[in-house]
Amino acid sequence: MSERAARRAIVALLKRIRVGELVVREGATRRVFGSGLPRATVTVRSPAVWTALLRGGRGLGESYVDRLWDADDLTAVIEIAARNLGGIDRLRGRLLPLTGALRRLRTLNVRNTPARSRHDIAAHYDLGNDMFELMLDETMMYSCAVFERPKMTLAEASRAKLDRICAKLDLGRHDHVVEIGSGWGGFAIHAASTRGCRVTTTTISREQRELAQARVDEAGLGDRVTILGEDYRHLRGRFDKLVSLEMIEAVGWKDFGTYFASCSRLLAPDGAMALQAITIDDRLYELDKASRTFIRDWVFPNGCLPSVEVIAREVARSGDLRVVDLEDITEHYPETLRRWRLNVEANAARLAALGYDERFQRLWRFYLCYCEAGFIARRIGDVQVVLAKPRWTGTVEPHEAALSLAG
C-alpha cells in the first residue's frame, strides 16, 4: 500500500478515537483526534510511519524505535491506543476461528523446550547486569513493587512486596523454600535474611546467576541460599514452600500445565506456593496467545501472559494444588514501571557509554511505556496468588490496605 493510502487508512482509525485526545503534527499540519484525558502530541518525522502503523502494535513500536515519530508523552499515546481498541478486538474475535487455526498450524511443532527456554531467557536477561543495575533499585527486583505508603522509594516498595509474599506463606526458620526464577537473588536474600529460612533458587540466565551468587556471598548467606542453573522441569526434591515471581510469563501457553504440575511435585503434602503473575484480560487471552506482537518480537521471545481464568483452569488440571488466596496488585505496576523508566532516562549517558545506543534505549523506553499504559488501561494486570497442597493447614491473613495510586 502506498504511503498516501496508508495515511488515509490510519487517519480513518484515528477519527474513531472516543477516549483521550491525540494531536498529530506532520510538517506544518496539525490535526486533533478525540477529546479529554489522556492527552498526547505526536510529531511525525517520516511519512513512512503511516505504512508501518498498518502492522498494528508491532508497527507502532518498531516505527518509534526507528525514529519515525516522537511524542511528548509516550505512555499517554499508547494508553489512548489501548483504550480505543474495542472495535479492533471485536474484529479479531470474529476472525479468531481462521486466525486461530493458522496460529495452531504455525506453532504445531514449537515448544518451549529447556534448550529453547535458555535461548529465549538469555535474549532478555543476559543483556548485561550493568544495564539492569542502572534501571532497578538496590534490591534488584524486576517485578511489581507495592507502594504501601506515600513517598516510598522504589526499594522500600520492592521490600514491601517481598514482605507481603513472605507473610502470605508464613515463612520461618524451619522452612526450606524453592524459588522458580531467581532474578538477581532479591527474594532469596530477603527471605533468608529476614525470615531465617533456607532458599534453593534457580535461574537459567547465566548473568543473573553470576550476580545473584555474588550478592548472596556479599550478604553472608551462602549457608542459607543455594543458587542453581536448572530448568524448573528438572528440579528435584520436596520443599515446604515455593515462590515464583513473574516467571510464569516465560513458560509459554503450551506448558502452563507442565509448570503447575512441576510446582505440585516439588511441594510437600502440607506445602504452599506464592505466585506473582502478570495476567491478560480473560477476554483477550485467546486473541493474544502466540500472536506476533512487539513484546514477543523484540523484548520477550515466545512469552505468553496467562489470564486469571487460565491459571485457575491449569491449576485444577495439573496436580493437587488449589487456589486459597488471590490479591490484585495491578494499580502498583504503573508506578513501578514509571520509576524504572525514569532510572533509564536519568542514566542515558551511562548506558550509552556501556554500549547501549540510542536505538536500544528507544526500544526499552517504548517497552516500559507500553507496559505502563497496558496496566493503566487494565488490558493487563498483576496478581499474587497463594496455592496450597491438600494437607496445608495455614491461613492467609487479610491484606493490609496498600496506598491507592489510582489517578
What pLDDT digit, counting tens, does each position of 107-136 carry? 556 667 888 888 888 878 888 999 999 999
Shared-domain flag, residues 153 and 11: no
Looking at residue 312, its pLDDT comes to 96
What pLDDT digit, counting tens, does each position of 140-178 carry? 999 999 999 989 999 999 999 999 999 999 999 999 999
Segments of the chain with pLDDT less than 50? 89, 91-92, 95-96, 99, 401, 404-407
Range of the domain at 79: 3-84
Shared-domain flag, residues 79 and 217: no
Looking at residue 124, its pLDDT comes to 87
Q: Are 327 and 399 in contact (CB under 8 A)?
A: yes
User: 279: how many CB neighbours lie within 10 A of its CB?
Assistant: 22
Shared-domain flag, residues 175 and 69: no
Shared-domain flag, residues 275 and 355: yes
Looking at residue 207, its pLDDT comes to 95
Shared-domain flag, residues 68 and 139: no
Looking at residue 103, its pLDDT comes to 57
In a domain, 328, yes or no: yes
Task: Provide the annotated active-site residues.
Answer: 371
3-state secondary structure of 225: strand
Shared-domain flag, residues 126 and 79: no
Q: How far is CA 259 from the centre of its chain?
A: 17
56: left (phi over 0), alpha (psi -120 to 50) or beta: left
Looking at residue 400, its pLDDT comes to 64
Strand pairing class (322-328; 380-388)? antiparallel
Distances (CA, A) of 293 to 56, 84, 116, 388: 9, 18, 19, 34
Looking at residue 302, its pLDDT comes to 84
Shared-domain flag, residues 309 and 355: yes
In a domain, 19, yes or no: yes
Looking at residue 102, its pLDDT comes to 55
